[in-house]
Structure 1
Amino acid sequence: MSGKRWRQLTLWLHVVCSVGWLSQALALLVLTSLALGTADVAVRGSALTMAKHLDMALLAELANVSAFTGFVLAAATAWGFFRHWWVLVKFVITVVQLYLGIFALAGALREAARTGAPSVWLAVGAGLMAAAIAFQAWVSVAKPWAKTPWAGTGKLPTAPRWVFVLAVAAPVLDLTAGTALGYPLPAAEVLVLVTVLVRRSLAKDSPRKVPAALRA
């Protein structure tokens, strides 16, 4: 399969996982709202337990793959991270979402499921997550605003085929490992992303300095 096809497959994976991330955020909003709005202890506990399970088993995986493929597409194509405002805005929103999702929302969900005591901030967080992803989808389609002051004059080269092959393979490996371990573990995705970023950095300094293995 050609490099173009692998790049298209990476983009397809990014879009599918982003839509899935949005759908799971909406599901969390519905479940946490149900827990807040019911006086039935059994229903409240079930809603919170299901919300926690969805977050760990599906939302976290989809968020990781969506973010990873988006970062790879920025780092491995002419778009870059800092050349266009719409890409930079998406990048910043994604980083904030990942941080808050991992260190705030996930922990709060586990605690709420354990105690059976829902918090209004869980519903607010899920709603904000869904709204942010929907906004990013609009930004991706409309591509508003001009180029950033750091755009430069040259055009960044597109990475070779092997980069996009790894971009598709890494989520499969991480999903398999995460399923076996019982929790998300984006180890292969992080390794691939670091490799792509190092390659782009070396290529930016001087194409002749890029090792042959990374140019192939």
Structure 2
Amino acid sequence: MGSVGLLYVGAVLIINGLMLLDVVPGKAAAAMNLFVGAMQVVFPTIILAQSEGDPEIILGASGLFLFGFTYLYVAWNVLTDAPGEGLGWFSLFVAACAVVYGTLNFTLVDDPLFGVIWFSWAVLWFMFFVLLGLGKVSIQRRTGWFTLFLGIFTGAVTSFLLLTQNYPTGDGAALIGAALAVGLFLLAWLLGAPNRVSVSRDKDPLNASA
């Protein structure tokens, strides 16, 4: 994923995390989802058109659509008051693809740290599936915190490391990244404990605060 695009993935994840935490209303978050979603569809389409069939370029661009369609889907649901089940099941597909991309970063691309990042996104999108596809609103705040944390660390921080040519490689960096991802997940799980907020079983997390 391009370092510039990754920066704005971080921004939209932070906004969506705050939306799930009921800090940012849904309709206020829709614009950023539209902007970043469109960017993550238009830019990889241009990259593919100019790739001249290079399989490495095609592989790198292909994953961007997963994010672009997710954010456009979020905006659609918020602006139309559509139910979240479709987005939830699409998120399961994204999670499965993220596992594949993560594995390829370990085996084919030789970038284990970004493999860890892909695996952390797989966990996050699986949480979206559980929250929206299965309607388990008890994990809404936990999902919100984890979304916020990954927006900061896998999005903004990683982007600036790439932009300043300070991005670490190697197994050591991957181990540190994995430890950080696990730590952030556990922190999100603690901060988002259901007894900290009363949540209606019928509440749609994308529309309740719109």
TM tier relative to shorter chain: 0.3 to 0.5
Q: TM-score, normalised by structure 1?
A: 0.37
Larger radius of gyration: 1
Q: TM-score, normalised by structure 2?
A: 0.38
